[in-house]
Amino acid sequence: MFALQVDKWFKNGARPNEVKVGAEFRKERRGNVIEIAKVLEIVPDPMGVPHVHYKVSIQSSHHECFEEQRTLGLDSFAERFGKALAC
């Protein structure tokens, strides 16, 4: 089970240990939509599961760019945003 999870991290997304406060990640979606996520903080929930609080900027050639804050579990965040941007 653990080996499958590790394999998933390497193929589809960032490794959770790469997700740090201040890091930025990029996700390209269909329809020429690009999401840029900046990690604001990583905090555990009451059960101890780490969650990433981040600001996402969504850009599209068809719509105006907008920003909002979101939260995802660390594993879900790492799976969703696979391309770390250079600092």
Contact 36, 59 (CB under 8 A): yes
Rounded-to-10 torsion of CA 71, 38, 67, 77 = -40
The pTM for the full model equals: 0.76
Q: Where are the alpha helices (DSSP H) in the chain?
A: 2-12, 74-80
Contact 58, 44 (CB under 8 A): no
Determine the Cα–Cα distance for residues 83 and 13; give it in Å rounded to an integer.
7
Give residue-wise pLDDT tens across range 22-76: 999 999 888 888 999 999 999 999 999 999 999 999 988 777 788 999 999 999 9
Give residue-wise pLDDT tens across range 63-73: 778 899 999 99
Retrieve residue 86's tokens.
């250079």
Q: Which residues contact 58 (CB under 8 A, 6 or more apart)?
A: 33, 34, 35, 65, 66, 67
